[in-house]
Structure 1
């Protein structure tokens, strides 16, 4: 055997040990505003809603009871999921990415998609994006829409720019407006937010059909895949974000009103994707992860479908206090389920602490048997792979920083939750703002602030939080 052949064989052998013999596929399904208590697998009454496909994920995989997001609103969690980095380390200290804002993720930052591309993965970002486009704030999405997901390692993108009823009212496909006929624009109608739609000369989204459109695009993408090449699908649902717009198929199918019907759209979408994987013989070695970007939104208006569902008995966020936007766990605690038939036994439950930012490190460990160095990628991501192998094991994550819509931070560690009242400018304090401490082991609903009883624990929490803030990564920050 010649020297060149020996070298090639050695390279092949090294690659084969780096990747498993049959590297798994990954589907990350991110629901929108979908609270902890909004599926049967997490306690929802089947007389109100029925979620057979989500129940199947729990029955055939691992259901996490302490799954949290990094933000209690959309963009921070999406940033953290794709980069493994807390969003408050970026320019987004508070709020969300608005409809005409530049892309939040820098193109030189490693994402799950760009990291997986180094291992030969195909990838797609389909669904709600809400991380901005282009390099600076823009007036419209005419012309080339770049940078965008394709500049972050994805091979295909079909997306809703911001949310179900944003002013763009169109889809983005790869680097442009889907179906754009001309550069003519004519404002019309009025969105849920009170302003007229931009009126692009392109097919306009129909709210009751968006879930069907997105799921259909994902299935078409799966059907076109080279089955010999592993893939990563980041699918981000528009349900159950307002305006609550269930499909014709699901309208009237629940006993929790339109909101319950919209939940059925999520469940149906999950089922359609599982069926597509099964049809292609891909489901056994596909890691299917379902979670949400934040807790359910419970408005004060009694006529809103979310409130009506709550009044019917559906506890959107389970036993957790608060909802979307807030600093309490109702804004952060979410369903978190992982199904991987080839490797993971079904019907298991884990109470290990996991976070949406941990998806990056977990995928990395599954693929390469290691996690990236914090200095190079995923600086705030802890792998939970061992919890898939043994749900009773201790979590790798010793702490988690949560960020609400106003930019306040909370720290989860051990059995405690500490809330800091520090605000980023230009936010100003409001009545009731204060440092808080809760013992979640005895008070999981955060009803009794015990900060005055445990000043040393509060000081310890503040020190840990300040250390995480000042370090460029948190994976090396210990609790003591």
Structure 2
């Protein structure tokens, strides 16, 4: 009798546990590298005798990687806005360039962001790392006092952020709505950043560039430690590497064969590995989806003999693969990025896809993957397209609606499966690159031959589509 009762209880507990596991939503880590070009990891062609990215490699081996993944902007802020809102940044006030260190929030207060959406499903949310989307309601002189309209106003329960980039003039961290470790309101400007501008000089701990990746990784783990057991979490880990200045950590200094730039790439992989190690140690890995990608292509400076990026390229590292251009530009070297998605035993292992996907699609995809998009309204994520059919390995070929890109100067391009049309920057310019262009990208991936003269009707069709979408 006792054995029979025990068996019944065990079966009930087993059934309950099984149902709970099925109902439990997956944790999400969105690892967003900075200025990380398409060819900067082994999965996408970087030679192992120059750099080693074992953790990124393993993500791809145990998941899916995309060979036609693109950003919406070839600079930071436009893509970050699209990632978190599911909308193109040119729908905002920012028609070109990026958010400056004193600019107000680019995200409207009533905008339903990706973390907002996930919170509505019961997630706890955090962003750790680069923000670069502005603060406050209006342009500001400094970040003293309570900082309104930062990440915590846009769906994040916790934030520990670098305001703009690795060596911005603020030079401090922001934790939730205030400067981290602020001692007083005293400001003593001193020193200059990598870009030549004077640091603000807040009376608070100043960031040390070589330690920022370590700081962000530790803060991420500290936050994960606070998450209640069985509560799903969303961590947006926004890396500062490999943005200027190229300052690898002490742990990685001299470890690659591609100089400091290669070392900094390996810092990204190392910190990703530390997060994965934590998940495995806590028994969270199996129920965590990890999405790895970048905000734009790699930056290739003109000072070819003295910059770390050029040193790495001279060694044989193709930062942006074989694609034309780099960060800031209208060419694919500025938009094409690695994208890897991994969820153990849920997403088929060691697969690749040539479907066109974009960072602006992450919102719709995660909503579809987690909740079948049930809580997205017609006003949410209006430019985001779920590529769930690719993940489900459907036989029907997924084809994304035409994708729009925007370069640093506000110039736009529209992409379909076969074509890429680039609007004219200056049709009267003597420089042909300033004219409207058309490329048959399914045959000419390097954008070497402008065929606008041969396919006038197609160019007009795409120009009309671009103008219609932008209106």
Residue 187 (structure 1) aligns with: 189
> Hey, what does 2:303 align to over in structure 1?
301
Residue deviations 1:273-323, cap 9 Å, x none? Answer: 111111121111111000000000001002010111111100000011000
- For the 8 Å contact 1:400–1:413, the answer to whether it is kept is yes
Q: Shift of residue 374 of structure 1?
A: 5.9
- Residue 435 of structure 1 is matched in structure 2 by 436
Tell me what 1:459 maps to: 460
SS at match of 2:23: coil
Is structure 2 residue 90 aligned with structure 1 residue 88?
A: yes
- Asked whether the equivalents of residues 135 and 147 of structure 2 are also in contact (C-alpha less than 8 Å), the reply is yes
Residues 49-80 of structure 1 show CA distances to partners (whole Å, capped at 9, x for unaligned) of: 00000101110100000000000000000000
Q: How far 1:20 moved relative to its partner?
A: 6.0
Shift of 1:210: 0.2
Distance 1:296 1:438 in 2: 22
CA distance in 2, matches of 1:44, 1:64: 16
Alignment of 1:273-284 (within 5 A): 273-284=275-286
Conserved 8 A contact 2:417-2:442: no
Does structure 2 conserve the Cα–Cα contact (< 8 Å) formed by 1:172 and 1:178?
yes
Q: Work out which of the residue numbers 407, 410, 426 in structure 2 matches 1:407.
A: 410
How high is the TM-score relative to the length of structure 1? 0.91
Seen in structure 2, the aligned counterparts of structure 1 residues 279 and 393 have a Cα distance that, compared at 3 Å, is farther
More off after superposition, 221-230 vs 239-248: 221-230
Contact 1:20 1:367 in 2 (8 A): no
Per the TM alignment, residue 370 of structure 1 is displaced from its structure 2 partner at its CA by: 2.5
Distance 1:249 1:384 in 2: 37
Query: What corresponds to 2:344 in structure 1?
Result: 341
CA separation in 2, counterparts of 1:55 and 1:210?
24
Report the TM-score, using the length of structure 2 for normalisation: 0.93
Q: Pick one of 31, 34, 41 that aligns with 1:32.
A: 34
DSSP-derived class of the 1:189 partner = strand
Partner of 1:331: 334
Corresponding residue SS for 2:398: coil
Deviation at 1:371, TM superposition (A): 5.8
Determine if contact 1:191/1:197 at 8 Å carries over to the other structure. yes
**In 2, Cα distance between the equivalents of 1:118 and 1:164?**
32
Match of 1:170 among 169, 172, 192: 172
Aligned pair in 2 of structure 1 residues 354, 246: CA closer, same or farther (>3 Å)? same
Tell me the equivalent position of 2:152.
Answer: 150
Matches within 5 A, 1:197-276: 197-276=199-278
Shift of 1:398: 2.2
Q: Which runs of 4+ in 1 moved over 4 A?
A: 371-374
Corresponding residue for residue 316 of structure 1: 319
DSSP-derived class of the 1:246 partner: coil
Shift of 1:466: 1.6
**Deviation of 1:372 (Å):** 5.4
Q: Gaps spanning 5+ residues in structure 1: where?
A: 1-16, 471-480
How far apart in 2 are the matches of 1:279 and 1:336? 25
Deviations 1:326-348 (A, max 9, x none): 00000000000000013112100
The question of whether the paired residues in 2 share the 8 Å contact of 1:86 and 1:357 is answered with: yes
* Distance across 2 between alignment mates of 1:26 and 1:164: 24
The aligned residue for residue 358 of structure 1 is 361
Residue in 1 that maps onto 2:391:
388
**1:396–1:110 distance in 2 versus 1, CA, 3 Å:** farther
Shift of 1:168: 0.4
Q: 1:130 to 1:429 in 2, by over 3 A?
A: farther
Aligned to 2:7: none
How many Å apart are 1:367 and its aligned residue?
2.0
**Contact persistence 2:399–2:417 (CA under 8 A):** no
Shift of 1:422: 5.0
Q: Name the residue aligned to 1:12.
A: none
Q: Secondary structure at the match of 1:136?
A: coil
Give the paired residue count: 449
SS in 2 for 1:337: strand
The answer to which of 72-81 and 185-194 deviates more is: 185-194
> Structure 2: how far apart are the matches of 1:388 and 1:47?
32
Cα distance in structure 2, aligned partners of 1:384 and 1:72: 22
SS in 2 for 1:460: helix
User: In the alignment, which residue of structure 1 is the partner of 2:13?
Assistant: none
| Stretches of structure 2 lacking an aligned partner (at least 5 in a row) | 1-18
- CA deviation profile, 1:8-27 (whole Å, cap 9, x unmatched): xxxxxxxxx9x961111111
Q: CA contact under 8 A between 1:382 and 1:396: conserved in structure 2?
A: no
